């Protein structure tokens, strides 16, 4: 913990030490380069750290502190009724010269996750369906530390990039059931680009990941405790491990490899493909030994391409296409205590979840000397199939998405900028199939039905953020921002508000 905090402080000092004086007359141009909507749209392009050499032609940094509060009336119980908390962060990109670039970021978050139920673990999307669960749950306090840094350098026709990203979390509850979770997530990335012809580049990259989560649950009350379940999906649980206050350890190793082709550092076009695989193993401790309860294998594939056009100095267009596929397969292990020691009696594949998604976006950008307008309408489709055996059970969902994101940056004068970012998203359920086999537990059946009804609900999301920046003499630029979001589900509203302030340099 101490090392992470020290790294955070060190990066903050380094960012300040690399500050370059900025002419106030160029403040607006520096600002819209730093907060480029186009760059945000192609964030996956920079999964290759070698491509970070073309991230920006100038250096910039930001330090900020923010607070948000999200309260939901309709929600999935495993994910809670929202959260609220504080975040402190710093990030920086530094162009050292024409050949070398460095970048880094660090953050600390203190959150309270509200009304979690049927889930006592962190990183739900990563470890589900093999969750530790109970029917009581409650609010969970969460601390999250994150640190990342990277470096790229050009050697004649080659560009080499390396990057490391580390995140640690601590989640706990001070009332029964008293959960304690710690996670560690390390990514190491390396990429190599080759300039094949003029400004055309071919790149390859790899990403390696090591993840762990350790969980324990305890009770102080002597008046009775809720039953503890080791869930295996769709309302079912592992009877052999149920009921005990066991320690749990998730361990995951994974990799991704990818290839890119781009022109003008992705400013003209790029295409890329990524394939990956990971294996998440859940071990449960009984007394001293750990027993392997399940393995969750995740095969991934992502394809993305984009093409940009300039009509003249003021009009720019972009076309994006993205397709992703994830197939998770769960292998479960059974044990017997009918002999003198606990023995494994079976190993079987019992769970499968398939998630296929495609997204198409159009970008239009209009720029003048004193403002920039960016509008990005989009349309997407998603298919989710989830099923398990023993007993046979499953569900399927087909969704369509559409909406628009806008970004308007207005220069008020030589030292002030105003930014307005409205957005709208609609999720429409095209088709759903429910073939869930009921359990003998009425409370679990009610939860599974509520979860299904949420996943078969149309969702409309409206939101906007407003930000004001001012550059003072001989000081960094200051900013203040506010955001509001309203989400309508089943004729009820989920609301989000947030505010932040900070400096850019």
Cα gap 147→1, rounded to integer Å: 12
User: Quick one: pLDDT at residue 183?
Assistant: 98
Cα gap 297→265, rounded to integer Å: 34
Q: Which helix (H) or strand (E) holds 125?
A: helix 124-127
Q: Where are the beta strands (DSSP E) in 337-415?
A: 343-367, 371-388, 393-413
Cα 210 off chain centre by: 16
Per-residue pLDDT, averaged over 474-488, amounts to 96
Per-residue pLDDT, averaged over 42-67, amounts to 97
119-133, 153-167, 284-298, 376-390: range with lowest mean pLDDT: 284-298
- pTM of the predicted model as reported, rounded to 2 decimal places: 0.93
Per-residue pLDDT, averaged over 104-120, amounts to 98
Mean pLDDT of the chain: 94
Q: Are 279 and 254 in contact (CB under 8 A)?
A: yes
CA atoms within 13 A on the CB side of 125: 3
Q: pLDDT at residue 194 above 60?
A: yes
Looking up tokens 């004649």 gives 156
Looking up tokens 């250096």 gives 59
Q: Are 119 and 204 in contact (CB under 8 A)?
A: no
Per-residue pLDDT, averaged over 294-321, amounts to 97
Q: pLDDT at residue 18 above 70?
A: no
Q: What angle do CA 213, 344, 227 make, to 5 degrees?
A: 55
User: Quick one: pLDDT at residue 1?
Assistant: 44
At 448, the pLDDT band (50, 70, 90 cuts) reads: very high
Sheet bearing 229-233, strands edge to edge: 132-133, 229-233, 236-237
User: Quick one: pLDDT at residue 26?
Assistant: 87
CA atoms within 13 A on the CB side of 67: 0
Q: Closest Cα to residue 203, out of 261, 123, 252?
A: 261
User: Quick one: pLDDT at residue 147?
Assistant: 98
Span 139-150, pLDDT tens digits: 999 999 999 999
At 19, the pLDDT band (50, 70, 90 cuts) reads: very low
Span 258-278, pLDDT tens digits: 999 999 999 999 999 999 999
Cα gap 188→208, rounded to integer Å: 5
Q: pLDDT at residue 393 above 90?
A: yes
Per-residue pLDDT, averaged over 352-360, amounts to 98
Q: How would you label 237-250 residue by residue, b for 16+ Cβ within 10 Å and e otherwise? A: bbebbeeeebbbeb
User: Quick one: pLDDT at residue 338?
Assistant: 76
C-alpha dihedral sign at 232, 233, 239, 244: positive
Q: CATH assignment of 2-504? A: 2.40.160
Q: Are 234 and 452 in contact (CB under 8 A)?
A: no
């Amino acid at each position: 913990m101490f090392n992470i905090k020290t790294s955070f402080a060190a990066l903050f000092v380094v960012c300040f030490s690399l500050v370059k004086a900025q002419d106030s007359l160029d403040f607006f141009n520096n600002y819209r380069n730093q907060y480029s909507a186009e760059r945000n749209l192609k964030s996956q392009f920079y999964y290759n750290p070698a491509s970070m050499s073309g991230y920006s032609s100038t250096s910039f940094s930001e330090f900020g502190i923010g607070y948000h509060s999200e309260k939901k009336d309709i929600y999935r119980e495993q994910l809670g009724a929202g959260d609220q908390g504080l975040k402190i962060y710093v990030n920086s990109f530094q162009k050292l010269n024409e050949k070398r670039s460095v970048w880094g970021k660090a953050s600390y978050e203190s959150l309270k996750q509200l009304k979690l139920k049927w889930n006592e673990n962190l990183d739900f999307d990563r470890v589900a369906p093999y969750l530790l669960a109970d029917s009581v749950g409650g609010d969970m306090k969460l601390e999250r530390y994150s640190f990342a840094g990277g470096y790229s350098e050009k050697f004649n026709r080659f560009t080499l990039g390396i990057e490391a990203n580390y995140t640690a979390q601590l989640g706990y509850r001070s009332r029964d059931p008293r959960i304690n979770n710690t996670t560690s997530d390390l990514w190491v990335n390396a990429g190599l680009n080759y300039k094949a012809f003029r400004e055309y580049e071919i790149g390859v990259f790899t990403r390696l990941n090591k993840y762990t989560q350790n969980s324990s649950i305890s009770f102080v009350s002597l008046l009775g405790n809720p039953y503890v379940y080791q869930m295996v999906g769709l309302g079912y649980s592992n009877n052999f491990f149920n009921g005990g206050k066991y320690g749990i350890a998730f361990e995951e190793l994974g990799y991704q490899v990818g290839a890119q082709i781009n022109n003008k550092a992705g400013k003209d076009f790029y295409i890329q493909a990524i394939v990956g695989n990971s294996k998440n193993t859940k071990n449960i401790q009984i007394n001293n030994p750990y027993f392997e309860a399940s393995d969750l294998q995740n095969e991934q594939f992502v394809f993305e391409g984009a093409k940009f056009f300039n009509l003249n100095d003021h009009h720019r267009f972009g076309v994006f296409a993205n397709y992703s596929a994830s197939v998770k397969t769960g292998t479960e292990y059974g044990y017997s205590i009918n002999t003198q020691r606990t023995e494994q009696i079976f190993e079987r594949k019992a769970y499968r979840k398939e998630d296929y998604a495609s997204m198409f976006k159009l970008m239009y950008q209009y720029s003048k000397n004193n403002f920039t307008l960016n509008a990005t309408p989009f349309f997407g489709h998603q298919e989710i199939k989830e099923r398990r055996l023993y007993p046979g059970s499953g569900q399927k969902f087909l969704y369509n998405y559409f909406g628009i994101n806008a970004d308007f940056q207005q220069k008020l004068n030589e030292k002030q900028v105003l930014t307005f970012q409205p957005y709208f998203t609609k999720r429409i359920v095209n088709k759903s199939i429910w073939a869930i086999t009921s359990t003998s537990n009425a409370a679990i059946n009610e939860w599974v039905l509520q979860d299904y009804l949420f996943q078969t609900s149309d969702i409309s999301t409206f939101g906007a953020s407003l930000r004001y920046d001012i550059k003072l003499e001989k000081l960094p630029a200051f900013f203040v921002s506010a955001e509001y979001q309203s989400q309508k589900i089943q004729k009820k509203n989920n609301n989000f508000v947030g505010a932040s302030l900070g400096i850019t340099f």
